[in-house]
């Protein structure tokens, strides 16, 4: 029998907690059959592409020569781009498979709701570089961009997946402000730490965190862990955020697209392209299953340790039912964010997307 996973890290004395807010970064419509099996070929759902605003109470981790905020703001993902013209032609063609969709007004402008502007964002962490997560990096022209190991290679050289969603813009991220977290494994561990654009270094090392074999203590204070979540796309990372005493928020990126996969009701879906090749939304489905299993273990761990576990659907948490305006504070919940297909939302039925 496998040994039980490590417990989640205990709090430090004077533990810092982060505030996390969800921002809707546009809406796309997804066919169930590309994500879950079994499925009905006619079932589609319109879902938000989410960005998350994370506020740390105080750290110099991202201060830029003394210019950064003393209470850093970090974005995790930026949703969809605000304009179709911002996408490469093949990406625009792929979006034709996602109608109806709504791009814009863009995550940067929505920061006004928090009395912030993009200049206030110290760092943007991308879970991965797919078109529905990277948003408009150009709007964050002072922020440091942090991506998982291998992401730069995906942007530059593409990857082996042949689906129309596997198209990447080599000039997406600013070269002089983009840093990859180190590779996972002792061979990538630099005792001097990770070099940032201002020539300073950060001690970011992958270590086991709860059920996850590799996580980085981002601020060095156990408040936010970057989690290695392989299988979906090279460089895919998640965030485990400590939002209060015994309260965690797991931002899962594209690790698990549908809650029915997490609870065992469905399997990961596959589909055939026009040439009869079998495709999957995950570049490595077997490895993706292992990452999903670790989220299941996180659920078990929270349950067994007597922590409050709230498991809920995306829209019931993030979106007000009438207006589509997002609720702003998620801090009191332990959530697994299955941020793509939300089964609380009915199968698509002429929903207004404007």
Distance CA 169, CA 130 (A): 10
Closer residue to Zn ion, CB minimum distance, 96 or 176: 96
Q: How far is the CB of 20 from Zn ion (least distance, A)?
A: 20
Cβ pair 336, 299 in contact under 8 A:
yes
**Partner residues linked to 336 by β-bridges:** 250
Q: How far is the CB of 135 from Zn ion (least distance, A)?
A: 13
Site for Zn ion in 318-337 (CB under 5 A): none
Using the rule CB under 5 A, is 130 a contact of Zn ion?
yes
Using the rule CB under 5 A, is 254 a contact of Zn ion?
yes
- Residues that bind Zn ion (rule: CB under 5 A) add up to a total of 2
Stretch that binds Zn ion, among 172-180, 221-229, 254-262, 266-274 (CB under 5 A): 254-262
Distance CA 112, CA 338 (A): 26
Q: How far is the CB of 128 from Zn ion (least distance, A)?
A: 6
Closer residue to Zn ion, CB minimum distance, 217 or 337: 337
DSSP per residue, 67-83? -S-SS-EEEEEEBS-SS
Distance CA 187, CA 210 (A): 23
- Tokens 């063609």 map to which residue? 93
Strands 212-217 and 224-228: antiparallel
Closer residue to Zn ion, CB minimum distance, 102 or 282: 282
Closer residue to Zn ion, CB minimum distance, 24 or 254: 254
CA torsion angle 186 192 194 196 (round to 10): -170
Stretch that binds Zn ion, among 23-31, 62-70, 122-130, 209-217 (CB under 5 A): 122-130
Stretch that binds Zn ion, among 23-31, 70-78, 175-183, 248-256 (CB under 5 A): 248-256
Question: What tokens were used for 249?
Answer: 């928020």
Closer residue to Zn ion, CB minimum distance, 130 or 266: 130
Closer residue to Zn ion, CB minimum distance, 143 or 255: 255
Cβ pair 54, 18 in contact under 8 A:
yes
User: Where along the sequence are the contacts to Zn ion (CB under 5 A)?
Assistant: 130, 254
């Amino acid at each position: 029998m496998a040994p039980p996973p490590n417990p989640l890290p205990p709090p430090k004395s004077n533990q810092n907690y982060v505030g996390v807010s969800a921002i809707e970064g546009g809406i796309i419509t997804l066919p169930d059959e590309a994500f879950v099996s079994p499925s009905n070929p006619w079932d589609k759902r319109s879902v938000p592409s989410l960005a998350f605003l994370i506020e740390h109470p105080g750290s110099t981790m991202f201060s830029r020569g003394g210019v950064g905020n003393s209470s850093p703001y970090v974005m995790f993902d930026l949703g969809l781009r605000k304009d179709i013209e911002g996408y490469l032609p093949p990406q625009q063609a792929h979006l034709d498979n996602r109608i109806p969709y709504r791009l814009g007004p863009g995550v940067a402008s929505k920061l006004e709701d928090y009395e912030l502007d993009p200049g206030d964002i110290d760092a943007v962490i991308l879970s991965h570089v797919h078109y529905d997560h990277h948003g408009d990096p150009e709007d964050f022209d002072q922020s440091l961009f942090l991506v998982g190991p291998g992401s730069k290679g995906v942007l530059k050289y593409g990857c082996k997946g042949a689906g129309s969603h596997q198209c990447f813009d080599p000039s997406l991220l600013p070269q002089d402000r983009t840093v990859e977290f180190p590779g996972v494994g002792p061979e990538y561990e630099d005792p001097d730490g990770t070099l940032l654009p201002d020539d300073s270094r950060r001690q970011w090392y992958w270590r086991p965190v709860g059920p996850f074999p590799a996580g980085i203590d981002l601020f060095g204070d156990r408040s936010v862990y970057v989690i290695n979540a392989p299988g979906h796309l090279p460089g895919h990372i998640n965030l485990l955020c400590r939002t209060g005493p015994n309260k965690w928020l797991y931002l899962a990126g594209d690790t698990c697209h549908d809650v029915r996969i997490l609870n065992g009701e469905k399997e990961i879906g596959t589909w055939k392209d026009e040439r009869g090749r079998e495709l999957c939304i995950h570049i490595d489905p077997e490895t993706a299953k292992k990452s999903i299993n670790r989220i299941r273990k996180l659920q078990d761990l929270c349950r067994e340790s007597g922590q409050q576990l709230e498991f809920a659907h995306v829209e019931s948490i993030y979106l007000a039912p009438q207006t589509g305006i997002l609720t702003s504070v998620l801090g009191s919940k332990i959530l697994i964010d299955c941020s793509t297909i939300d089964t609380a939302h009915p199968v698509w039925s002429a929903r207004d997307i404007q």
